[in-house]
Amino acid sequence: MIAGAALAAWLADPESQKRSYAAVEDCARRWSRKPLMTELERMLAALPDPTSAAVLDLARGFMDKSDEVAALMEELIAASAKDPFFRPPFHPMSSEVHNGLLLFHNPALSIALGVSGADMVAAKKTTARGASSINFSGVTTMFRYLKAGGATISFWEAPPITHSFLASQAGECRLTGRRRIEDGEEIVIDGRYQSFIIEHVLSDMLYFQAMVRPDAAPLAAEYDSKTLAFIGASSTDEASSRVQMMVSLLRTMEREDALPLIEESLESPHFYTRWHIMRELLAMDADAALPALRRMAANDAHPEVRAAAQQTLELFFEDEAPPLGKLKCRA
Amino acid sequence: MKKRIDITAIPELGTSVGMHGSVKQKEVVGPMCLGIVVAIVIAF
C-alpha cells in the first residue's frame, strides 16, 4: 500500500486517477494483441488432440520467447516507476513462498512468472508448526528456472492417481532423488504420480510455471511428510466442486423443481461427484432417484460407488434386497 | 407423499474427496501451493 502524501494527492485528483487507469487499460489492450499472446491462443485452439504433451510443447514455445517476455516486464517496470498507482494488468499471485503474475490463462493452460524469495522459503521452513504434507497436484506442471537460486530439490513419487482411485490402495509416497537445480533448467512434474519439495535455497528463484490441465487426474492426493502415508484427497476440478455445493444448497432449499438439472449432473466423470449428487437426490426424492441408483449399483465405473449404491438399495428399498439364495448363512 | 431419506443415513464412499483447493495439512514447500494459488486467482 502506498500511504501518505502521494496517496492523498492521487485520491484528491480525479485526473491523476484517470491517467493511472488509462495506462493500465492501454497496457492490457496492447499486450492482449501481441503475437506472444494471440499466437498461443491460436495454436491451442488449433490443436487436433490437446494432450498434456502437446499443450506442454506450446507452453515451451511461449517461454522460449524470452525477448518478448523481457520487453513486457521492462514495460511494466517502467510504467510502475513513472506512476506508483499503475497496476500491471495481469492477475497477481502470491503465497507464503512466492509472488508472481499470471501472464496467460486458457482452460487448458496457465503460465505464470514468479519469484520465490530465499527468505520466504526459509521463513516457512523455520516457522513450520505441526504436521505437513507432500502434495501430488494431479495436473502436469512445468517449471523453467531462469534463476535457480542454488536450490536443492527432492523428488517424490506415489501410486498413480486414476479415475478408479481408492484411498485404501493409495499406499505411501517415496523419495526418488535429490539434487541441485541449475539456471535455465526445466522440470516437468506429472502430478498424477510425481511431486517435489524445495529442500533449501541460497538466493531468490525466478521461474516460469506452466499448469497443463488436459489429462489431469480427478483428484489431488496428500501424503504426510513424516510417515509418508496417504492422508487425504481433494478435487482437481473446480467446476465439479461448485456443482456439488450448488446441489447441496438446492436440496437444503427444497428446490424440487431443480431435480431434472441435478439428475443431469449425475453424468459427472468424477466418481466422488456422482455419489455426492446421488446422496442429495435420495434426500430430495428417493423414488425419483431409484432408477439412477439401480444403474449405479450395476454399472458405475468406480467400485466404491457400485458398493455404496448396492448398500443403499438394500438399506432403504425393501424390494431391492438381494434374493434369499444369495444371502449368506449367519449360523 | 415423496419418500425422502435422511442424508446422514446414506452410506458414504470409503474414499473421501474434499472440495477443490482444500487440504488436510500445511504443505511442505512444493508444487501444490503454487497450483492452488493459480486456481484461486482464476476463480476470482
Residue ranges of chain A whose pLDDT lies below 70: 1-2, 320-331
Cβ of A283 and B30 within 8 Å?
no
**Interface contact A167-B15, CB threshold 8 A:** yes
Is the same domain home to A229 and A253? no
Evaluate whether residue A314 is within a structural domain. Answer: yes
Contacts B3 to A, Cβ<8 Å: 285-287
Note whether residue A2 is domain-resident: no
The beta-carbon neighbor of B38 closest among A110, A189, A218 is A110
On whether both A56 and A121 belong to a single domain, the answer is: yes
Residue A97: its pLDDT value, please? Answer: 86
How many whole angstroms separate alpha carbon A21 and alpha carbon A6? 16
A314 and A199 in a single domain? The answer is no
Q: What pLDDT, on the 0 to 100 scale, is given for residue B32?
A: 65
Please indicate, yes or no, whether residues A192 and A247 belong to a single structural domain of this protein.
no
Taking CA–CA distances from A92, the nearest residue in chain B reads B41
Residue linked to cell 487426474:
A217
CA distance B34 to chain A (A): 7
**Of A203, A235, A267, which residue is a domain's last?**
A235
Taking the C-alpha atoms of residue A98 and residue A115, their distance in angstroms, rounded to an integer, is 5
Residue A331 has a pLDDT of 42
The reply to whether A228 and A257 lie within a common domain is no
Do both A132 and A57 map to the same domain?
A: yes
Residue A227 lies in a domain: yes
Are residues A192 and A49 part of one domain? yes
Domain assignment present for residue A263? The answer is yes
A56 and A138 belong to one structural domain? yes
Considering only CB atoms, B5 lies closest to which of A220, A233, A316, namely A316
Q: Are B11 and A284 within 8 A, CB to CB?
A: no
Full residue range of the structural domain in which residue A272 is found = 238-322
A228 and A258 together in one domain: no
Which residues from A are below 8 Å from B8, CB to CB?
A: none
* The three cell numbers locating residue A4: 501518505
β-strand A91-95 against A98-106: which pairing, if any? antiparallel
Residues of B in contact with A238 (CB under 8 A): 20-21, 39, 43
CATH code, domain with A192: 2.60.120.10
| B29 has pLDDT over 80 | no
Q: Do both A158 and A280 map to the same domain?
A: no
Provide the shortest C-alpha distance from residue B40 to chain A (in Å): 9
**Partner-chain contact B7 A251, CB within 8 Å:** yes
Amino acid B39: pLDDT: 63
Separation of first and last alpha carbons in chain A: 75
Chain A residues closer than 8 Å to B2 by CB: 256, 284-288
CB proximity A178 to B under 8 Å: no
What pTM, to 2 d.p., does this model score?
0.87
**Nearest 5°: CA angle at A129, between A127 and A130?**
160
User: Chain A contacts of B35, Cβ < 8 Å?
Assistant: 137, 139, 141, 191, 211, 220
Torsion angles phi and psi, residue A173, rounded to 5: -95, 165
User: Cα angle vertex A41, ends A113, B38, to 5°?
Assistant: 35
A123 to chain B: which residues are within 8 Å by CB? none
Residues B11/A315, Cβ–Cβ less than 8 Å: yes
Q: What is the ipTM of this complex?
A: 0.83
Domain boundary among A174, A206, A235: A235
Residue A174 lies in a domain: yes
State the Cα–Cα distance between residues A254 and B2, nearest whole angstrom: 12
Q: Has residue A3 been placed in a domain?
A: no
Residues A227 and A136 both lie in one domain: yes
CB contact under 8 A, A245 and B19: yes
Closest of A42, A33, A100 to residue A68, by C-alpha: A33
pLDDT at A323: 57
What is the chain B residue with the closest CA to A232? B24
Residue A49 domain-assigned (yes or no): yes
Q: Is residue A11 part of a domain?
A: no
Count the domains in chain A: 2
Cβ within 8 Å, pair B31-A94: no
Instruction: Measure CB to CB from residue B23 to each of A114, A121, A133 and give the nearest one.
Output: A133
Of A184, A205, A235, at which residue does a domain stop?
A235
Q: Do residue A122 and residue A245 come from a single domain?
A: no
Q: How confident is the model at residue B38 (pLDDT cuts 50, 70, 90)?
A: low
